[in-house]
């Protein structure tokens, strides 16, 4: 996909500039920036607090580790430019804390550990307005992170999970319901799912989730039948001072 696909989309240009796969060129080239642009353009000057899980593409870590210091954390650089008044936090199981700077704070933690997630949230203090999970993509990790951090999301805030169409074979647990299927069934409390969260965490989500929207990935690596509904935006109930309600 060429960067000119959406010529007025500044966020896509930034993603491509910093080599983020949320854009249209690098690594998986999901094109999620078209969704984020529509969602966040009205919020560009708002003092948001954002947390992103997963900071360096796994392919870069595995095949081009020598490039990491130059690339740093691509999406955090993108968010820092696009949201100049936002307080931006990044979290990864790998130690990328050296990339912290005046605009961005990077934390090391395991997204599959409630204790470690809670510890980071306590150090940050307060709630997040936007949380993005682009971490391991393993269903149980996604579900633990959602159950733990959704409580740390502001009323009316947004929780985003990326790449629901992909689960890493080395990490995915075969007896856990896929997160995409879990989210599809959550509004109707679909029975029979095997989840990595307990009943109290499930009940909290049922009570506090206002809506769930799905969007596709445009990555050329997968056919649309697989990459449809790859991105989920989960909105928390309540009124947010900056984020408009669902129409």
Strands 87-92 and 153-161, bridge-based pairing: unpaired
**Residue 137 a catalytic site member:** yes
* Helix residue spans in 30-138 (DSSP H): 33-40, 58-63, 68-71, 74-82, 114-124
pLDDT digits (tens, 9 = 90+) for 210-233: 999 999 999 988 888 888 999 999
Residue 2's pLDDT band, with cuts at 50, 70 and 90, is very low
Q: Which CATH number goes with the domain that contains 83?
A: 3.40.50.150
Inside any domain, residue 176: yes
Inside any domain, residue 73: yes
Q: What does the mean pLDDT of the chain come to? A: 92
Q: Is the pLDDT of residue 89 over 90?
A: yes
The CA–CA distances, whole Å, from 113 to 93, 120, 144, 149 equal 10, 11, 7, 11
pLDDT digits (tens, 9 = 90+) for 122-173: 999 999 999 999 999 999 999 999 999 999 999 999 999 999 999 999 999 9
Inside any domain, residue 83: yes
Residue 244's pLDDT band, with cuts at 50, 70 and 90, is confident
Inside any domain, residue 97: yes
Q: Residues 89, 50: contact at Cβ < 8 Å?
A: yes
Q: Which of 137, 140, 165, 240 is catalytic?
A: 137
Residues 167-187, mean pLDDT to the nearest whole number: 95
User: What is the total count of domains within the chain?
Assistant: 1
The parent domain of residue 205 ranges over: 46-236
CA–CA dist 143, 163 (Å, integer) = 14
User: If you search the block for the tokens 């100049």, which residue do you land on?
Assistant: 84
């Amino acid at each position: 996909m060429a960067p000119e696909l959406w010529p007025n989309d500044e966020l896509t240009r930034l993603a491509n500039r910093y080599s983020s796969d949320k854009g249209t060129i690098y690594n998986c080239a999901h094109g999620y920036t078209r969704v984020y642009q529509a969602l966040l353009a009205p919020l560009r000057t708002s003092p948001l607090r954002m947390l992103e899980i997963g900071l360096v593409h796994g392919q870069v870590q595995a095949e081009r580790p020598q490039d990491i210091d130059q690339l740093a954390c691509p999406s955090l650089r993108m968010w820092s430019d696009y949201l100049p008044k936002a307080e931006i936090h990044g979290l990864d199981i790998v130690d990328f804390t050296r990339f912290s700077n005046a605009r961005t704070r990077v934390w090391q933690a395991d997204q599959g550990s409630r204790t470690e997630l809670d510890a980071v949230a306590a150090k940050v203090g307060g709630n997040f307005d936007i949380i993005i999970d682009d971490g391991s993509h393993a269903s149980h990790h996604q579900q633990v992170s959602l159950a733990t951090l959704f409580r740390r999301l502001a009323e009316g805030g947004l929780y985003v999970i990326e790449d629901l169409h992909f689960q890493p074979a080395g990490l995915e647990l075969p007896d856990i319901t896929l997160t995409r299927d879990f989210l599809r069934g959550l509004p109707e409390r679909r029975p029979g799912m095997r989840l990595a969260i307990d009943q109290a965490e499930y009940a909290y989500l049922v009570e506090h989730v206002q809506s769930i929207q799905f969007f596709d990935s445009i990555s050329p690596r997968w056919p649309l039948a697989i990459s449809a509904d790859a991105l989920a935006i989960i909105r928390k109930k309540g009124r947010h001072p900056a984020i408009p309600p669902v129409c």
